[in-house]
Amino acid sequence: MKIDPENLNRRDAHELLVGAILPRPIAWVSTVGQDGVYNIAPFSFFSGMSSKPAIVGFGVGSKRDGGKKDTLANIEFSKDFVINVVTDALAEAMNQTSGEYPSHIDEFQVANLTPLKSDLVKPPRVAESPVSMECRLLQILEFGEAPHVNGFIVGEVLRVHIKDDLWIEEVIKGSKLKGIGRMGEDLYCRTVDIFEMKRPRGPF
């Protein structure tokens, strides 16, 4: 089978990529709108891009009608956001926030989550999340053609909040974090089946 993505419609091209790029970490992004309403939504086109400076990025598609998603509109307004890590225990709450709600709806209330005041940015953190990254917007890249334009949001991590029991020997212990990842279709995976491989040393 050989497939050229440019020959696919928008939905099929999406399904092709999410079925091939996996498992994907989930950026559970909290923002605040111009009206002061909190928003939180998950995005799995998410990656770290640099460690020093600490740069992360995630992709935001358009709404079904081609309009901007609240996350993108809010970040354009406030110039900041928070990325919260999703664990197995938070999977159902995360899924609740993935729906397309009107902009006046606070998804923290929809999913029964606790907003926690951030130190350096306007949007709140998710109190229930074990790791949260306060981020400042650096750049928004746009791809595609109207009305369905995809945005890729690049931000600098200003501060990371970590639950004390996860921070062991100066690292976040992944075995204790119990994060989840996104697969294709409606599938997710748990990061509890892990193994270790040491990188080979070079010849010199």
pLDDT(139) > 70 = yes
pTM: 0.94
CA–CA distance, 99 with 133 (Å, rounded to integer) = 23
CA–CA distance, 145 with 124 (Å, rounded to integer) = 32
**Domains of the chain from N-terminus onward:** 5-188 (2.30.110.10)
Give the end-to-end CA distance of the chain in Å, rounded to a whole number.
Answer: 42
Q: How confident is the model over 41-91, as pLDDT tens digits?
A: 999 999 999 999 999 999 999 988 888 999 999 999 999 999 999 999 999
CA–CA distance, 117 with 109 (Å, rounded to integer) = 15
Q: Is 182 helix (H, G, I), strand (E, B) or coil?
A: strand
> Cα-atom radius of gyration of the chain, to the nearest Å?
18
130: left (phi over 0), alpha (psi -120 to 50) or beta: alpha
Question: Bridge-partner residues for 80, per DSSP?
Answer: 136
- Mean pLDDT for 14-34 is 95
pLDDT(203) > 80 = no
CA–CA distance, 23 with 1 (Å, rounded to integer) = 22
Q: H helices within 79-127, ranges in order? A: 91-96, 107-110
| Mean per-residue pLDDT of the chain | 95
> What is residue 145's predicted lDDT score, i.e. its pLDDT?
85
Q: Is 156 helix (H, G, I), strand (E, B) or coil?
A: strand
pLDDT(204) > 70 = no
- In the numeric block, which tokens belong to residue 15? 């399904």
